[in-house]
A and B are shown apart, each in its own frame.
Chain A
Amino acid sequence: MIKTIAILSITLFFSGCIKDVKPWEKETLAKHTMQQDGINPIQKQFEEHIYFSKEASKGGNGVAGGGCGCN
């Protein structure tokens, strides 16, 4: 019983650290600087060009689906 209460208390205590970001709070996340390619998308294209020419392949470098519908 004490164990259960302790586990529940710890779980509740640490759940206070979790705060979900609401869709209307994603202004900063929507900025170009927050994109994986960084501030300059040309840099990403350049790196991909080198990567694909070295590997003699194309594709397989991303993930499909998802999207938050915000951008």
Chain B
Amino acid sequence: MKKLITSVLLLTNLYAYEKGDIISENMAAHLGCTDNKIYVIDFFASWCGSCKKEIPLISKANTQIDSSKVQIIGIDVDKDVNKGISFQNTLKAENKLNFKVINDPANLIISEFNPVGMPTLYYIKDRKVLSIITGAVDNIDEVILNDIKEMK
């Protein structure tokens, strides 16, 4: 019954992943979140000012985490994939982006997560949403490192 309600809500685009929810197997496979690492999923776009500020800090946090236990994945939701890639390349050239990025020009990934704002960070382990950070946060690198420490 719960699966049926979830399917109906997913179809009607009203469903959003909340803390404690289990992401679908297809989505986990698509993101590459299949093992028992903690995955930090960051939704961003080239036109999002707060995302631009946060990405270098998230990259900074990425240099300080144990990659065997934690992985950061960015989801670029730019509808124009070339614009998104160009934005990523600019950041990479300035050493401000050092984590894996998946382009989502059709917005299929973000539509399933359905966050209420941008940028949004999801912590996922064993397909379970452990925590969500919505909107711009000061010193997001320290926040991520502290959150991960508490989750281990």
Contact = CB atoms under 8 A, between A and B. Distances in A.
A24 B77 contact: yes
Interface bracket on B: 20 to 34
A61 to B, nearest CB: 23
Interface of A is mostly: loop
B122 interface: no
> Which 10 pairs, one residue from A and one from B, show the smallest C-beta to C-beta distance?
A69-B135, A69-B117, A71-B49, A23-B118, A24-B77, A27-B47, A70-B118, A30-B47, A24-B110, A23-B117
Contacts of A23: 115-118, 120
Interface secondary structure of B, over-half rule: loop
Contacts of B136: 69
A24 B43 CA distance: 9
A71 B48 contact: yes
A27 B48 CA distance: 8
Given A23-B117, A24-B118, A69 B79 contact: no
B134 interface: yes
A27 B80 CA distance: 11
Interface string A15-44: 000000011111100110000000000000
A41 to B, nearest CB: 14
Interface size class on chain A is 10 to 19
25 contacts: A22-B110, A22-B111, A23-B115, A23-B116, A23-B118, A23-B120, A24-B43, A24-B110, A25-B107, A26-B47, A27-B78, A27-B79, A30-B47, A30-B48, A30-B49, A68-B118, A69-B118, A69-B134, A69-B136, A70-B49, A70-B50, A70-B117, A70-B118, A71-B49, A71-B50
Interface string B60-102: 0000000000000000011100000000000000000000000
A20 B150 CA distance: 36
Given A26-B47, A71-B50, 16 more contacts: A22-B110, A23-B118, A24-B45, A24-B77, A24-B118, A25-B107, A30-B47, A30-B48, A30-B49, A31-B47, A68-B118, A69-B117, A69-B134, A69-B135, A70-B118, A71-B49
